[in-house]
């Protein structure tokens, strides 16, 4: 029973890592701009959940978590701007903002994956 309670906080981290893994394997390939925006919003949500979980598990410190949350917030602003540009018919701006947002989210995921490997293996 105690072991199950200790592993429960790991579930969101594992789910987020699974989503990242599926994306990196090419299992999810959104095609249209709208699909890619939706997928990027899902990546943003997964990043927020992973940041929260890894902070709660003390795999990252609170200063790093604050920095990562600020980056995630900036990515969300870029996604919202991309959505607005798309709705306004400015596909080129939407694409550029989407690319920038997804690059930020990808780097966040890479950092989190590295930190969980380093810290997780050390305990």
Mean pLDDT per 10-residue interval, the chain, length 123 residues: 50 58 62 94 94 91 94 97 97 97 95 75 49
* Distance of alpha carbon 82 from alpha carbon 114, whole angstroms: 29
pLDDT at 123: 43
Q: Of 11, 115, 15, 3, whose CA–CA distance to 55 is shortest? A: 115
- 1.10.3470, 1.20.120, 1.10.1240, 3.40.720: CATH of 2-122: 1.20.120
- Token reading at 56: 């709660």
pLDDT at 1: 43
* Cβ pair 71, 108 in contact under 8 A: yes
């Amino acid at each position: 029973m105690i072991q199950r309670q200790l592993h429960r906080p790991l579930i969101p981290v594992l789910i987020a890592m699974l989503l990242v893994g599926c994306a990196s394997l090419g299992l999810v390939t959104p095609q249209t701009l709208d699909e890619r925006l939706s997928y990027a919003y899902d990546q943003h949500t997964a990043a927020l959940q992973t940041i929260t979980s890894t902070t709660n598990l003390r795999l990252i410190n609170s200063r790093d978590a604050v920095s990562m949350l600020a980056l995630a917030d900036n990515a969300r602003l870029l996604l919202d701007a991309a959505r607005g540009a798309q709705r306004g018919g400015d596909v080129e701006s939407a694409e550029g903002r989407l690319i920038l947002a997804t690059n930020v989210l990808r780097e966040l995921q890479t950092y989190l994956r590295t930190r969980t490997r380093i810290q997780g293996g050390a305990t």
